[in-house]
Amino acid sequence: MTTAADLRARTKELLAAHPPATTERTAFLRARFDAGLAWVHYPVGLGGLDAPRGLQAVVDAELGAAGAPDNDPRRIGIGLGMAAPTILRYGTDEQKRRLLRPLWVGEEVWCQLFSEPGAGSDLAALGTRAVRDGDHWVVDGQKVWTSSAHVARWAILVARTDPDQPKHRGMTYFLCDMTDPGVDVRPLRQITGEAEFNEVFLSGVRIPDSMRLGEVGEGWKVAQTTLMNERVSIGGSRIPREGGMIGTVARTWRERPELRTRDTHQRLLELWVDAEVARLTGERLRQQLVAGHPGPEGSGMKLAFARLNQEISSLEVELLGDEGLLYDDWTLRRPDKVDFTGREAGYRYLRSKGNSIEGGTSEVLLNIVAERVLGLPSEPRTDKDVAWKDLAR
């Protein structure tokens, strides 16, 4: 079994052969992937060493101390946190070899074509159609709220392939090339003034059957792997103590004593404790992931993440007063990543409103936690055995 000492030795070999100070960034990241030090728990040949997941921290610490470049995980978070684990679990050998290396290195950005105008919270009600045509599938439909579609090369896509089946059983999961003819990406201007999200129109897009992930009709099953990983990715990312947004507000409190009031002091203390509890809970969740796949507990972490971000950003704006409303740039920008800590308080306040929607609405996640974590009775579902084409719209 691979040990921490083995990984330190292998990392030192990588650094000796490819000194970060003189090696081009992409070349270093490719060499790191090929050495099995990208994600050590992945299989040999796919960026890993079949090592325990918890040992990744050993590699990251050694490379960080040496000043090695990272793969800009915020920019490629959808690929890392959602596409990659789904491809690893359901992909063919050829799909894994072709897609995982450029995904991890950051040469190819991924987006997620799930939500639709008429099927947001109820993903299983989606209506985008995929019709078999020989060795291809012809896809027509519309997706919405697609982060990074304007910079993405690939997308994970769920489409309806059998409208005669109930909504959860008639879907299939595909990998869509965003450069294909028929893919039209249009910006959605947000309350922040930016267009980080998009709507995507698919008109006669031809996807080879070789880019199908999982069996025909099992799209819902495959999508669950994506969604569970997405919620852990959004709500359970590793941060240091007093990291993230609570650290920004705490720093303002310490450096700007003239802003303090008794009320904001009490609220800051309460939110600091809540943030620390969420951070430690996230650490426990990641430890559970070492032995298997993410479960519904990730929904609870994502719920906490959304609530905390909104309450912390609200406190920050109140603490700063008029200054908290300032926002440096309201022009239409097309960012390729979200930055919650490197921007102004006004931006954080506005952007955090979307946290309770993206990655599953808080209302849906509350149901998941109630039913799949706490074991409470499920809500009545009258449509579960009705063919999708017969559902009321």
Which residue, chain included where needed, has tokens 């040999």? Answer: 44
Residue 130 and residue 51 share a domain? no
**Do 315 and 211 fall into the same domain?**
no
> Tell me, what's the pLDDT at 294?
59
pLDDT tens sequence across 112-170: 999 999 886 788 999 999 999 999 999 999 999 999 999 999 999 999 999 999 999 99
Q: Hey, what are 141's tokens?
A: 């439909």
Confidence of residue 183 (pLDDT cuts 50, 70, 90): very high
Same domain, 230 and 368: yes
Tens digits of per-residue pLDDT, 30-42?
A: 999 999 999 999 9
* 239 within domain boundaries: yes
- Residue 84 neighbours by CB distance under 10 Å: 25
For 125, the token pair is: 């009600």
The verdict on residue 390 lying in a domain is: no
Tokens matching residue 370: 């109630």
Residue 278 counted as domain residue: yes
CATH code of the domain in which 193 resides? 2.40.110.10
Of 291 and 109, the one with more pLDDT? 109
Q: Is residue 138 part of a domain?
A: yes
Same domain? For 85 and 26 the reply is no
- Domain boundary (17, 37, 70) is at 70
Task: Encode 27-58: b = buried (16+ Cβ within 10 Å), e = exposed.
Answer: ebbbbbbebbbbbbbbeeebbbbebbbebbeb
At residue 386, does pLDDT exceed 60? Answer: yes
Q: Are residues 369 and 232 in the same domain?
A: yes
Q: Based on the domain organization, do 284 and 316 belong to the same domain?
A: yes
Final residue in a domain of this structure, among 183, 216, 249? 216
Q: At 339, which CATH number?
A: 1.20.140.10
Residue tagged active-site, from 116, 230, 311, 316: 230
Span 57-105, pLDDT tens digits: 999 999 999 999 999 998 999 999 899 999 999 999 999 999 999 999 9
C-alpha triplet 163, 165, 169: angle, nearest 5°? 110
Specify the pLDDT at position 382.
82
Question: Is residue 43 within 8 Å of 33, Cβ to Cβ?
Answer: no
Of 14, 40, 70, which one is at a domain's C-terminal end?
70
Tell me: do 194 and 313 sit in the same domain: no
Hey, how many other C-beta atoms are within 10 angstroms of the C-beta on 234?
Answer: 20
Does a structural domain hold residue 259? yes
Q: Tell me, yes or no, whether 89 and 66 share the same domain.
A: no
- What is the overall mean pLDDT for the chain? 89
Q: Quick check: 193 pLDDT over 70?
A: yes
pLDDT in the model for residue 43: 96
Quick one: pLDDT at residue 25? 97
Residue 127 lies inside a defined structural domain of this protein: yes
pLDDT bin (cut points 50, 70, 90) of residue 233 is low
Question: Which residue, among 277, 381, 337, 356, has the nearest Cα to 75 in the 3D structure?
Answer: 337
What are the Cα distances from residue 280, in Å, to 86, 268, 286? 26, 18, 10
Of 39, 33, 42, 35, residue with least CA distance to 12: 35
Tokens linked to 160: 């309806």
pLDDT in the model for residue 288:
60
- Is residue 297 scored above 80 in pLDDT? no
Domain region containing 92: 79-216
Asked if residue 389 belongs to a domain, the reply is: no
pLDDT tops 80 at residue 239 = no
pLDDT digits (tens, 9 = 90+) for 316-364: 999 999 888 877 665 667 777 777 777 889 888 998 988 888 777 888 8
Q: How many residues does the chain have?
A: 393
Question: 304 with 230, same domain?
Answer: yes
Considering the domain architecture, whether residues 66 and 83 belong to the same structural domain is answered as no
24 is catalytic: no
Q: What is the pTM of this model?
A: 0.87
The answer on pLDDT for 21 being more than 90 is yes
Number of domains the chain is built from: 3
In the predicted model, is pLDDT for residue 289 greater than 80? Answer: no
pLDDT the model gives residue 287: 62
- Evaluate whether residue 157 is within a structural domain: yes
- The H or E element containing residue 310 is helix 297-320
Residues 121, 363 contacting (CB under 8 angstroms): yes
Does 154 share its domain with 271?
no
Kindly state whether residues 9 and 105 are assigned to the same domain: no
